[in-house]
Chain A
Amino acid sequence: MSGLYGALMGAVAQGVLWGIMVLGVYITFRLLNIADMTVDGSFALGGCVCAMLIVNHGVNPYLAVLVAICAGLIAGAVTGILHTVFEIPAILAGILTQISLWSINLRIMGGKSNVPLLKSETIISQLVGKLGTPNSIGSLIIGVIIVLIVVMLLYWFFGTEIGSALRATGNNEDMIRALGVDIRKTKLLALMVSNALVALSGALVCQSQKYGDVSMGTGAIVIGLAAIVIGEVLLGRLRPFYGKLLAVVVGSVVYFIIRAIVLQLGMNPNDMKLLSAIIVALALCIPEAMKKAKIKRDYREGDDE
């Protein structure tokens, strides 16, 4: 059973680290109603920047994470400018950035698609060295600490004047414009913050799995949406904003546990993306189908009460 236990611990740790990406997706998808396709590219960008800095330039792993965050901010800004200044639809703007990031990430990695960090110090290997725990436990500890910090920061930020204006932008653009907010700025800011978190997540996942890979972000947006949906189904009743944020991180953990279990049961790992897409599609279809079924069920020909 230790194989299963190890796989589950690894899944929980991965779920928490990827949960930071899910928080980023939550900002754009739930608060702004944009499915931001940049995510696939900016996640890999975070990982690639971090891997290269650590391996080739011997940069301190903490500093490498900070640089990765900045790279994510820039990626989000590119999508944001395409969308707000040039009015390209958000989905297309994200796809354009995502595709260009593929080439950019390969350039960052010096033309290699995979850079291993096996011999290098990472935030996680430093902790593991001190505590003598397995890599998965070290990743989990770091992940939980950073998730808590991020959730606190987001909770604070979305309670500020700018943060409120940002939430209102996703709620009612006409209204917030009439109240004097330039929604191009709020959308740009949201996309930047979101992709900074995504890149942070990519950098930490890279350090945890000990390699950076140009394709590590492929399908990240779908994982993000799946985790949000799972989190909201399980903990949708949580009312405070920090509760909603923690719920999607829990959703991410559950997603990776499900993934570990079906892989243990012998599912072909290549089918995992199909499964994720089905989870998201079902989650988006079911509420609509239930609504229509209810309308049909509630219909009465007569006017009896």
Chain B
Amino acid sequence: MLTLTNVRKTFNKGTINEKKALNGINLHLDPGDFVTIIGGNGAGKSTTLNMIAGVYPIDSGKVIINGVNVSQAPEYARAKYIGRVFQDPMRGTAAGMEIVENLALAYRRGEKRGLGWGVTAKEKEIYHDQLKRLGLGLEDRMTSKVGLLSGGQRQALTLLMATLKKPELLLLDEHTAALDPKTASKVLSLTEEIISEQNLTALMVTHNMKDAIQIGNRLIMMHEGRIIYDVKGEEKKKLTIEDLLHKFEEVSGEEFANDRMMLAK
């Protein structure tokens, strides 16, 4: 489904601010894999997702999605395969456009856009049903501007938009980090529901170790641009937060000193 082969990326190469963000990432995902990614700040978690999505060009290595080599394809061309939810709820939706218009834009992800109507009457019924399942009452506000929604509502909408047209791969970049705890857990359970229902292949970056252990079938820990721990199936289910901290110290030789992750215990 997704194969990363020796992917490397250095930012600001040759300057005093040079930062090796990815030091040779190798990763293979099978169809239906739901992988959580943890790691400290600057470990390369978000960069990995950005490299898969094509936000910046990679320096070397290969990104293969569903057998297609997209290593040098621009971001908009890769969108055909990928649904994305960002950390910032403002980034995933167009504030000045109606809810229904946002959904219609997402419904055509990766498809050729022509001079047909941007939203057809038939689609509106689909959107109505899909919005209803979010349980946020948005189905009655379909012509409201998205800018009027709260961060949590916008993030739930973005999640729906990312999966409206079934993606080969779903990328979730700390998509609940900016939400209050109650909303975050709601968006998270919605995420699990949609992923299992559509049997999606997904990568989720999180700072919450508990979530990382509980959710998905596989867990990856990153440190300094490398994958330092990769665990799946039964072994993953049995993990505890202490195991993860211990594992981190063992592999990295450092204390796990990240406030956000410690607090998330």
Q: Which residues of A contact B97 (CB under 8 A)?
A: 164, 167-168, 171
1/0 per residue, CB under 8 A from B, across A143-180: the answer is 00000000000000101111111011011101111111
- Knowing A177-B75, A178-B75, say if A160 contacts B115 (CB, 8 Å): yes
- Knowing A160-B114, A164-B104, A164-B105, say if A182 contacts B74 (CB, 8 Å): yes
Interface membership of A34, Cβ < 8 A: no
Interface membership of A181, Cβ < 8 A: yes
Q: Which residues of B contact A172 (CB under 8 A)?
A: 90-91, 93-95
- Decide if A176 touches B53 in the complex (CB within 8 Å): no
Q: Which residues of A contact B105 (CB under 8 A)?
A: 164-165, 168, 175-176, 179
- Knowing A160-B118, A161-B117, A163-B118, say if A179 contacts B108 (CB, 8 Å): yes
Interface membership of B24, Cβ < 8 A: no
Interface size bracket, B side: 20 to 34
A205 to B53, CA, bound (A): 49
- Decide if B94 touches A175 in the complex (CB within 8 Å): yes
Interface membership of B113, Cβ < 8 A: yes
Q: Which residues of A contact B104 (CB under 8 A)?
A: 164
Interface membership of A106, Cβ < 8 A: no
Interface residues of B in 78-122 (CB under 8 A from A): 79-80, 82, 84, 86, 90-97, 101, 104-106, 108-111, 113-119
- Decide if B113 touches A165 in the complex (CB within 8 Å): yes
Interface size bracket, A side: 20 to 34
Q: Main secondary structure on chain A at its contact with chain B? A: helix
Interface membership of B77, Cβ < 8 A: yes
Interface membership of B11, Cβ < 8 A: no
Q: Choose among A163, A168, A174, A175 the residue with the greatest number of B CB atoms under 10 Å from its CB.
A: A175
- Decide if A175 touches B77 in the complex (CB within 8 Å): no
- Decide if A181 touches B113 in the complex (CB within 8 Å): yes
Interface residues of B in 34-84 (CB under 8 A from A): 53, 74-77, 79-80, 82, 84
- Knowing A174-B86, A180-B110, say if A159 contacts B93 (CB, 8 Å): no
- Ranked nearest first, the 7 interchain pairs of A and B with the lowest CB-CB distance are A180-B79, A164-B118, A171-B94, A161-B113, A180-B110, A172-B94, A179-B109
